[in-house]
Amino acid sequence: TQLLEQSPQFLSIQEGENLTVYCNSSSVFSSLQWYRQEPGEGPVLLVTVVTGGEVKKLKRLTFQFGDARKDSSLHITAAQPGDTGLYLCAGGGNTDKLIFGTGTRLQVFP
Amino acid sequence: GAVVSQHPSRVICKSGTSVKIECRSLDFQATTMFWYRQFPKQSLMLMATSNEGSKATYEQGVEKDKFLINHASLTLSTLTVTSAHPEDSSFYICSAEGSGSVEQYFGPGTRLTVT
């Protein structure tokens, strides 16, 4: 069974701090996506990475796909209260199905 | 682009009744739609995958006779929770994927409460 473990599970920080969320698996994925979900809403796609070692930047967010395509990280620079939410990584394989990570709940205080 | 809607956003029903949830891709054709269930403060759990015009594929442990899925067109999939019980209360989310795409776009979710 493919599993995606995210760490940390919870993160509570002050505005302006930097943070990194990790997404790890023992399985290889052909693609990896990051989503952010706010309470009572569906997840919103942030980025898709498909190449080992790939780095993508989205304003203050930097996403990296591990060289072996088994892990990924999300780094947020100068976090803002608007970054608060549940961050989910999701790995794609040979089928259309996504395997979702365990989630990281981020709270940024002003 | 890539907008997915769900209806209703919230529903309260009595135990034993059935509830239908609709998932629509508004600006693209979704060859595949997915249905997820999410418990409070937890990640998403895939329930089933549906392809337009064919029977849904259910994940292990999901009762296909209880959670009826229909994907009659490239823009609409429905999930019917039959004979609902309080333990079926949850947040149900659909997603849609276009042909040749690896990305899923999610609906806003439906909060089901069974009393």
Burial class (CB in 10 A: 0-12, 13-18, 19+), A84: middle
Of A31, A42, A48, which has the smallest distance from its Cβ to B109's Cβ? A42
Could you tell me if A101 lies within 8 Å of chain B, comparing CB atoms? yes
Q: Are B114 and B11 in contact (CB under 8 A)?
A: no
Per residue in B28-79, pLDDT tens?
888 899 999 998 888 999 999 998 888 899 999 999 999 999 988 889 999 9
Using alpha carbons, select from B69, B46, B47, B66 the residue that is nearest to residue B56.
B69
Q: Which residues touch B101 (CB under 8 Å, ≥6 apart)?
A: none
Residue A60 distance to chain B (closest CA, Å): 22
Per residue in A53-83, pLDDT tens?
999 999 999 999 999 999 999 999 999 999 9
What are the φ/ψ torsions at residue A42 (nearest 5 degrees)? -80, 160
Q: How many CB atoms lie within 10 A of CB B12?
A: 12
User: Which residue would you say has higher pLDDT here, B108 or B72?
Assistant: B108
